[in-house]
A and B are shown apart, each in its own frame.
Chain A
Amino acid sequence: MTNQLGGAAAIVGIGATEFSKESGRSELSLACEAVAAAIADAGLQPSDVDGMVTFSADDNPDIDIARNVGIGELRFFSRVHYGGGAACGTVVHAAMAVATGVADVVVCYRAFNERSGRRFGAGVQDIPNEATAERAQFSWTSPAGLLTPASWVAMVANRYMHLSGATSEDLGRVAVADRRHAATNPAAWFYDKPITLDDHQASRFIVEPLRLLDCCQESDGGQAIVVTSVERARDLPNPPAVIVAGSQGTGAEQWTMTSFYRPDIAGLPEMGTVARELWSSSGLGPADIQTAVLYDHFTPYVLMQLEEFGFCGRGEAAAFVANVGIEIDGGLPVNTHGGQLGEAYIHGMNGIAEGVRQVRGTSVNQVSNTEHVLVTAGTGVPTSGLILGIDR
C-alpha cells in the first residue's frame, strides 16, 4: 500500500520560547510556554487538544505539560525515537492520528536546556556503560576515542569528501548561508552576526575535517507545533501549512550515527528512504520545492541531503551550492531561519516552524511564490521528513 498521508492534516500553530545558552528555568517551563504559545497561535483552546507527541529523548512528560497548560484528557500520545531524527516524525505521527480520527488536535513539542544542562556535544565519554543493545553500540567506537557526534559525522564526511572531491570550503559555504540567514532573524542566536568563508576557514578543527563553524551551536529552548485536519484548519486564523507528505526512514545496515558498515558510507540512505517516500506519495519532485529546511547539525550532511533528495547528482552537491546557490538569493534557499548553526539547536523542531512560516508567507527571509517547502530531521540517525504546502 502506498503512503496516503498527504493532504489530510495541516500545521496550524507554532510556538517557541526564546533561544538562549542558559534559559535559567526548567525544561518543563520551556515546554509549557512553547506548547501554550503554539495553541494560542493556532487560535485554539488547550481543551481542544486531545493528542501529544514528543521525542523519546525529551524529558517533559506529556501529562505534566497537559496539567500545567490546562489540557484536559488525551486520546493519543506517542514518542518518537532517535534524537533529532524524530523531529518531522512527531508531525508524521500527529498527522496519522488526525487522518484516522484517533485524535483531532495534536501538539508536537520538544524543549530542553541542551546548552546549560546536558550538552550533546560532550559526547558519551561520561555515560556509564550499561549492557543494553542500544548502549553497546558505542563499544565499537568509544575505546578508540570516537566519542562525540562531531567525531562520528567526521568519519562519514571524510569518506564523502574523498569520493566527491568536496573541500572544507564547500562545507563552509553551508555555514556561510546559514549565518547569512540568521543575521536577519531577530530570533536567532547569531542575529546580526554573519560570517565569511575566511571566518570558516580560520576556525579551529574540532574533529578533522570538521571545523568549529561546521558544527551547530548548542541551545536552550522549546518549540511546539499544532496539527489538526485540513478541514478544521480552514476555520482557524492562520493559513494552513498542509502536510503534503510525511515519512520516517532508515536505511539498510542502519546504526545510530555510526553506520560505518555499509558498502558505501558516503551517503545518507535513511534520508534516501524518506526522499523516495515524499516524492512518490506526493507526486512532487525537486523542481517543485521553492525552499528547504535541511537538518544541519553538521555542514557535510546538508550537502549529502541535497544529493539524497535529487536536487543534484551523487557527488555534485558542492557544485550545486557554489553554482545554483542555497542562500536567500540562490536557486534553492536553504535554512532561511538560519538553521541550527545560526538560529538555534532545538533538535530540528525550529526548522519545521520555519517551514510553516514560509508557507504562511511570514518568514523574515521569505522566499517568493513558495508553494512547497521540504523539511528534514536529524541526519546520520533513523530520520524523517515532511513536505509542507499551501492550501489549494
Chain B
Amino acid sequence: MTAPPPPPADAVDDGLTDEEFHNALQAFVGRQIGPAMDAPDEVNVPMIRHWCEAMGDTNPVYLNAEAAAASTHGELVAPPAMLQAWVMAGINGPSRDTDGPYEQLTNLLATRGFTSVVATNCEQTYDRYLRPGDRLSMVTTITDVSAQKDTALGTGHFITTQQDYVDANGQRVGSMVFRIIRFRPRGTTARRPAPATTRDTNWWFEALAAGEVRVQRCSDCGLLRHPPGPMCPACHSLNFDSVPIEGTGSVHSFVVVHHPQVPGFEYPLPVVLVDVDVAGEVVRPVRMVMNTADTEPDAVVVGAPVRIEVRAAGGQHLAFAIVTDTAGGAS
C-alpha cells in the first residue's frame, strides 16, 4: 500500500453558508486593486521596434517616419495592441499589498478549494492611438465575480477585472478586460459531503465544529448514548446534556475505500469504526466512523488503540483516529 493520505490541504472552514459566501464574493465587485500604476517609460520608438520585430508587424506607420507623416496619423504611432506593455511591471512583477482586495478575494476562494487558476479571455478597447512621448497610468478594478460554475476543468468562479489606461492629462486612451477562473481541480480538493443535521443532532456537529467530540448524556438518569437521539431509551427523558470523550479508543472494524472515488477524499481511503472510550455508563457501545491520520495503512488492524483528534478536512472539522500502538502492523 502507499503512504497514508494526509488530511486534504484545503483544510479550512470559512464558516459561511453558501449564500453568505456568495455575498462575500460579490462585496469585491467594484473595488480597485492597489494604487494606480505609472508606466516606467514614456511611449518610445525603441520599444515599438522590438515589439514589431517580435510580432512581425511591418506596418510602416509604426517605424517609418516618412510613411507615417503621409498617413492619416500624420506622425509615428504605437501599435494599439501594445497597450498593456507600456504599464507592465518589470521582470520582478508588481509589488502588491499582501492583504489587498485581490489577495483577500483569492484567499476567500481558496477556503472552498478554488485554488487553481486559468486565464480565460482578454479584450482590449482603444480610444485613440498612442504616440511617442505619451506617458500612461493604469488602474485595475474588479468588475465581476461569477456565481459558482461547473466547467470541464472543475468547479469555480470567473473573476473579471478591468484595467483603465489614461494619459498624462487623465484622459482614457484604452482599457482591457481580463477574465480568469479560480477553480477546484476535479477529484482533488473539494469539500466533503456535509452532514445533514436535525434538531436532535445539530448540537453534536456544532461541538465538533468547535473542536470537541462529545457524547450525549441523559440529564435525568445519566446514561451516555451515541449517536444522539431525542429520547433516553432507559428512562424516556427528553432532557440531555453532553460530556467530552476521553480522547482514546480502539479500532472495532475498518475498510479501505477504492471505488467510487469522489471529490474531497484521497484514495485508497482507510475508514475506521472506533470503539470510543467514555467515562460513564452507556446505553450501547459508543462507536464513531472516522478516517485515520498520521497512521501507516498497515497499522490499521482490529483492536489497534487510537488517539482521537479533531482536525479540519474538506471544509469541516472531523474526528480523526491516530493509531498509537503499531505493534499489530507490518510497519
Real complex partners, A and B? yes
Bound Cα distance A136, B202 (Å): 10
Within 8 A of A (CB), among B227-265: 227, 252-260, 262, 264-265
Bound Cα distance A141, B205 (Å): 13
Chain B residue numbers with a CB within 8 Å of A205 are 256, 258-259, 268
Out of B194, B226, B257, B318, name the residue touching A146 (CB < 8 Å).
Answer: B257
CB distance B227 to A261 under 8 Å? Answer: yes
Which residue of chain B lies nearest to A122 when distances are taken between CB atoms in the complex?
A: B260
Which stretch in B111-119, B134-142, B171-179, B281-289 binds the other chain?
A: B281-289
CB distance A158 to B196 under 8 Å? Answer: no
Bound Cα distance A261, B227 (Å): 8
Chain B residue numbers with a CB within 8 Å of A1 are none
Bound Cα distance A262, B287 (Å): 9
CB distance B201 to A136 under 8 Å? Answer: yes
CB distance B271 to A155 under 8 Å? Answer: yes
Q: How many A-B residue pairs have CB under 8 A?
A: 128
Out of B197, B254, B257, B264, name the residue touching A158 (CB < 8 Å).
Answer: B254
CB distance A155 to B197 under 8 Å? Answer: no
CB distance A133 to B198 under 8 Å? Answer: yes
Bound Cα distance A131, B264 (Å): 22
Known: A144-B291, A151-B271, A265-B252. A129 touches B284 (CB 8 A): no
Out of B192, B226, B259, name the residue touching A143 (CB < 8 Å).
Answer: B192
What are 13 of the A-B contact pairs (CB < 8 Å)? A132-B196, A136-B197, A136-B198, A142-B195, A143-B192, A144-B271, A144-B289, A146-B289, A162-B253, A207-B258, A208-B256, A260-B289, A261-B285
Does A156 make an interface contact (CB < 8 A)?
A: yes
Does A279 make an interface contact (CB < 8 A)?
A: no
Bound Cα distance A247, B322 (Å): 44
CB distance B193 to A129 under 8 Å? Answer: yes
Within 8 A of B (CB), among A145-179: 145-148, 151, 154-156, 158-159, 162
Chain B residue numbers with a CB within 8 Å of A135 are 196
CB B215 to nearest CB in A, in angstroms, measures 12
Bound Cα distance A143, B318 (Å): 8
Which residue of chain A lies nearest to B313 when distances are taken between CB atoms in the complex?
A: A143
Chain B residue numbers with a CB within 8 Å of A124 are 193
Bound Cα distance A136, B201 (Å): 8
Chain B residue numbers with a CB within 8 Å of A147 are 193, 257, 260, 262
Known: A139-B205, A208-B258. A159 touches B253 (CB 8 A): yes
Known: A136-B196, A141-B289, A144-B289. A155 touches B258 (CB 8 A): no
Which residue of chain A lies nearest to B302 when distances are taken between CB atoms in the complex?
A: A162
Does A101 make an interface contact (CB < 8 A)?
A: no
Does A125 make an interface contact (CB < 8 A)?
A: yes
CB A286 to nearest CB in B, in angstroms, measures 28
Closest 9 CB pairs of A and B: A139-B195, A129-B196, A159-B253, A208-B256, A154-B255, A142-B193, A162-B302, A145-B265, A125-B262
Bound Cα distance A149, B11 (Å): 27
Which residue of chain B lies nearest to A129 when distances are taken between CB atoms in the complex?
A: B196
Contact with A along B303-321 (1 / 0, CB 8 A): 0000000000010101000
Bound Cα distance A224, B271 (Å): 39
Does B290 make an interface contact (CB < 8 A)?
A: yes
Interface residues, chain A, CB within 8 Å of chain B? 121-125, 129-133, 135-136, 138-148, 151, 154-156, 158-159, 162, 204-209, 253, 260-263, 265
Which residue of chain B lies nearest to A133 when distances are taken between CB atoms in the complex?
A: B198
Does B273 make an interface contact (CB < 8 A)?
A: yes
Out of A143, A155, A208, name the residue touching B195 (CB < 8 Å).
Answer: A143
CB A317 to nearest CB in B, in angstroms, measures 18
CB distance A204 to B198 under 8 Å? Answer: no
Does B269 make an interface contact (CB < 8 A)?
A: yes
Known: A205-B256, A207-B257. A144 touches B290 (CB 8 A): yes
Chain A residue numbers with a CB within 8 Å of B197 are 131, 136, 139
Chain B residue numbers with a CB within 8 Å of A151 are 255, 257, 271
CB distance B192 to A140 under 8 Å? Answer: no
CB B102 to nearest CB in A, in angstroms, measures 33
CB distance A204 to B227 under 8 Å? Answer: no
Bound Cα distance A296, B291 (Å): 28
Chain A residue numbers with a CB within 8 Å of B253 are 155-156, 158-159, 162, 265
Bound Cα distance A236, B306 (Å): 64
CB distance B255 to A159 under 8 Å? Answer: no
Out of A133, A146, A204, A261, name the residue touching B258 (CB < 8 Å).
Answer: A204
Among B193, B194, B265, B318, the most chain A Cβ lie within 10 Å of the Cβ of B193
Chain B residue numbers with a CB within 8 Å of A253 are 284
Does B123 make an interface contact (CB < 8 A)?
A: no
Chain A residue numbers with a CB within 8 Å of B265 are 145
CB B35 to nearest CB in A, in angstroms, measures 44
Chain B residue numbers with a CB within 8 Å of A207 are 255-259
Given contacts A142-B192, A208-B257, 18 further A-B contacts (CB under 8 A): A136-B196, A138-B193, A139-B195, A140-B227, A141-B289, A143-B193, A145-B192, A145-B257, A146-B257, A147-B260, A148-B260, A154-B255, A155-B289, A158-B255, A158-B302, A205-B258, A261-B227, A265-B253
CB B221 to nearest CB in A, in angstroms, measures 18
Chain A residue numbers with a CB within 8 Å of B290 are 144
CB B304 to nearest CB in A, in angstroms, measures 12
Bound Cα distance A142, B257 (Å): 12
Contact with A along B289-301 (1 / 0, CB 8 A): 1110000000000
Out of B193, B200, B284, name the residue touching A263 (CB < 8 Å).
Answer: B284
CB distance B255 to A155 under 8 Å? Answer: yes
Out of A208, A209, A263, name the residue touching B285 (CB < 8 Å).
Answer: A263
Which residue of chain A lies nearest to B318 when distances are taken between CB atoms in the complex?
A: A143
Chain A residue numbers with a CB within 8 Å of B287 are 260-261
Contact with A along B189-218 (1 / 0, CB 8 A): 000111111101100010000000000000
Bound Cα distance A122, B259 (Å): 9
Bound Cα distance A162, B303 (Å): 10
Bound Cα distance A122, B196 (Å): 19
Chain B residue numbers with a CB within 8 Å of A162 are 253, 302
CB distance B256 to A145 under 8 Å? Answer: no
CB distance B271 to A146 under 8 Å? Answer: yes
Chain B residue numbers with a CB within 8 Å of A206 are 258-259
CB B296 to nearest CB in A, in angstroms, measures 15
Bound Cα distance A98, B192 (Å): 49
